[in-house]
Amino acid sequence: DTGVSQDPRHKITKRGQNVTFRCDPISEHNRLYWYRQTLGQGPEFLTYFQNEAQLEKSRLLSDRFSAERPKGSFSTLEIQRTEQGDSAMYLCASRTGTGANYGYTFGSGTRLTVV
């Protein structure tokens, strides 16, 4: 168990560019979540997968955001045409089981800065 890995740790991009982040969950965890966190706020839910199926996507999520988990293992989060308001920490988390009584394990996050 090597924990949840995220890559890259930091990303600086110019406004209008596309960026893609990767998350490798704990291997036996079937659920994978993406959150976004800005300074002084708690993590904000973006989307989650059970195995390869994307089961929920936040209504607040712009259509510039897309996520995939093609083989039920790693996941990618892509942001197209980045805006300065996209600057945040993007957190990936995973867990096992399907009930409500399971805590998440978070990765170290990808800090995005849009200039």
Which parts of this chain interact with other proteins (CB under 8 A)? 31, 33, 35, 40-45, 48, 56, 89, 91, 98-109
Work out how close the CB of 20 gets to other proteins at its nearest, in angstroms, rounded to a whole number: 20
Shortest separation between residue 24's beta carbon and other proteins, angstroms: 14
Contact 93, 104 (CB under 8 A): yes
Judged by beta carbon, residue 70 or residue 99, the one nearer other proteins is: 99
In this complex, which beta carbon is closest to other proteins, that of residue 2 or of residue 98? 98
Residue 6 or 82: which CB sits closer to other proteins? 6
DSSP string, 52-112: TEEEEE-TT--TTEEEE-TTSS-EEEEESS--GGG-EEEEEEEE-SSSS----EE---EEE
CA dist., res. 115 & res. 106, Å (int): 27
In the complex, what is the shortest distance from the CB of residue 75 to other proteins, in angstroms, rounded to a whole number? 15
